[in-house]
Amino acid sequence: MNDFLTELYASQLGKVKENEPLANHTTIKIGGPAEIFIEPSSIENLQKTMELIRKYNVTWRAIGRGSNMLVSDLGIEGVVIKLGSGLDHLVQNGNEVKVGGGYSLISLATLISKKGLSGLEFAGGIPGSVGGAVYMNAGAHNRDISKILTKAHILFPDGTIEWLSNQEMEFSYRTSVLQKKRPGIIVEAVFKLEPGDKDVIVAEMIKNKDYRRHTQPWNFPCAGSIFRNPLPNYAGKLIESAGLKGYSIGGAKISEMHGNFIVNNGDATAHDVLSLIQYIKNEIKNLYDVSMETEVEIIGKNLQK
């Protein structure tokens, strides 16, 4: 690891930190240290980072803006790559936009709506990055990323980088091919949008954003929806019907606003959140014979879903 670090620093590929607390980089404000943390300053430098990772056979994972993620209190071994300021570019070409994987999804939805382009109104309140949204096919209000994505530019662990079409992304509910069989980092995405009345589009985006603000606890640190909807049921409604809203373990609490959100009351640990997740799973299984599956990614040392 020392040789890897020496070469990483010498290569000047971006911001590098050692033992960086990941609580600083997740929306739920939980997570132990990343052994090595790097925020590459460009796509080219991200590729060079991956070359070094392969050369020294170092474990790695990528993150964006840290939503939809629960990191172990013990942190993450190896390298954590953050897609941030070096991969937050945007190029508009008519009704198409090419966006870096580190770009804020909320910022993109706001900008595009003000330009009179429709298609991202649903994303006005989703606090993640473009890369993360494509990776998990993020959605809301009966819309999702798969409806607007033309293609995604992916860096694979073997160092190859290629464009995958919408069909090749194999989207399904909160899932893409990157989760199922081809792990990779989304460095860019191209979205096809539709022109429309700017005032109508902006109003729809604001309505969606306001709905999320009034029904979901974004004024507390949280990771977003904890469980996938076990269709035809809805996770939040099942949890609420079971009378679990407000139930807490340690510093982790089921939101009073929405049953499918767990909030950090200020001193929650990943262990608290995991214990609460397991408690919910057991209660819903016992009461309704429904198996709950987590939507939030659970990562790091000694963690299991």
Please, which contacts does 235-238 make with residues 24 or more away whose CB atoms are closer than 8 Å?
235/259, 235/260, 235/292, 236/260, 236/261, 238/284, 238/288, 238/290, 238/292
pLDDT tens-digit series, residues 137-176: 998 888 999 999 999 999 999 999 999 999 999 999 889 9
* Percent of the chain predicted with pLDDT > 70: 99
Q: Where in the sequence numbering do the catalytic residues fall? A: 174, 225, 295
Domains of the chain: 2-86 (3.30.43.10), 88-215 (3.30.465.10), 235-299 (3.90.78.10)
pLDDT tens-digit series, residues 255-294: 999 999 999 998 999 999 999 999 999 999 999 999 999 9
Helical spans, DSSP H, in 103-227? 105-114, 130-136, 177-180, 198-215
Q: Is 207 left (phi over 0), alpha (psi -120 to 50) or beta?
A: alpha
- Per-residue pLDDT band at 303 (split at 50, 70, 90): low
Which of 11, 68, 54 is closest to 299 using CA atoms? Answer: 68
pLDDT for 232 beyond 50: yes
pLDDT for 236 beyond 90: yes
The answer to whether the beta carbons of residues 73 and 45 sit under 8 Å apart is no
Mean pLDDT of the chain: 94
